Structure 1
Amino acid sequence: MAQADRVLHFGRAPHEWLWFIVQSPLAVRSFNLAYNSWFVVLIASVFIACITRRDTKLRHQFLMSFMLVWILAGFFLAMGLSSAGPCFYERLGLGSDYHSLMQALAAADRIYPIWALSTQDLVWSGYIGATPGSLGISAFPSMHVAMAVLFALYATRRSRLAGLLMWAFAAIIMVGSVVLGWHYAVDGYASVLISIAIWKACGYFLGKFAPEGVAA
């Protein structure tokens, strides 16, 4: 994944292109806040779809896509293509390619709390068995990006303004996943394609086999 990132980004790691963000503690803090707000957006999007008064194909398309993205990408691909994100690269003895990124995040953490770092430590502790429970590391694909893109696809069909806001949110999540060291850029690129493909497939399926009583 790291090598693919460099090939796709003209010999440089994606975070190196985004160094103007990485070196700004306030910017890193802002991306961390947005990244954590993903959980709120996820709950809100599913809740809105579930309480929609009209039983529409759009509602079914979103809920079907939501489940399939989690099952196919969040389980099968995540298990089959398990990988360690940049934040764990050096801990696994793979080299110091991301040392400068993690040092910059640590420096930002001394000014503003960067929650991603403590979460990464927690996940790592679970991975090595230092803490009880089942915690693992898997960077590919990025479920944060996959879900954010799915939210944007759904919101675009409901409202042009909501769609613009959610695509902006998806872009922020994509950049944040790289800046915070969670993911390689290719994790996010693959997630975008996966979500769009599943969304389109569900839309096609419902167009052909939508149950009776489901409005267009």
Structure 2
Amino acid sequence: MGCIPTKLAKHTPGYEDPTVLASETSFSVCEVEALYELFKKLSHSIFKDGLIHKEEFQLALFKNSKRKNLFADRIFDLFDIKRNGVIEFGEFVRSLNVFHPDTPTEEKIAFAFKLYDLRHTGYIERDELKEMVLALLDESGLHLSDDVVEVIVEKTFSQADSKGDGRIDPDEWKEFVSQNPALLKNMTLPYLKDMTMVFPSFVVNSELDEEDL
């Protein structure tokens, strides 16, 4: 199957040449063009302006544009590289690249660290970890008692904070993730490799099993 003609995308806000984007990511030119088809669908789902707004992002994740979730907010904020409240096509491709199977693990670890560093301090504090744990449980539809959540947070934080200074720095996080690789399970979306023009549903935290690879 051939690529979509690039001229279709040139009037998109934030449009960037697929060849350039392919050279900076793990995607091929054809895969960048396939991503453009997905981007067009998402960026016209509500506002039809060629930009992905937070409501459209939430609609893609949850089928609900008004649902509030810290996890979705954090992913959106990290995709919004220019921090102007919308996601442009170039930002979309570069950010999704983190989830590509061929992207180095170091980049996935760094992205996950930023996800948990809610206050942008360069460290993960205990309360930030708890907020993200609660958000991820909510997103997964799991409802645990406060006591169980506290045990999860305390155990996780004590393991990760190897220096015992009450916060997790990037080096501690890298070591913690290396010992608990399951934490990066959702940082790889197998279908981003060998994509077709008929793109599957866009769900960042996809639960694909090995048979889907």
Superposition TM-score tier, normalisation by shorter sequence: under 0.3
Provide TM-score, normalisation by structure 1: 0.26
TM-score by length of 2: 0.26
Higher RCO structure (Cα 8 Å, ≥6 apart)? 1
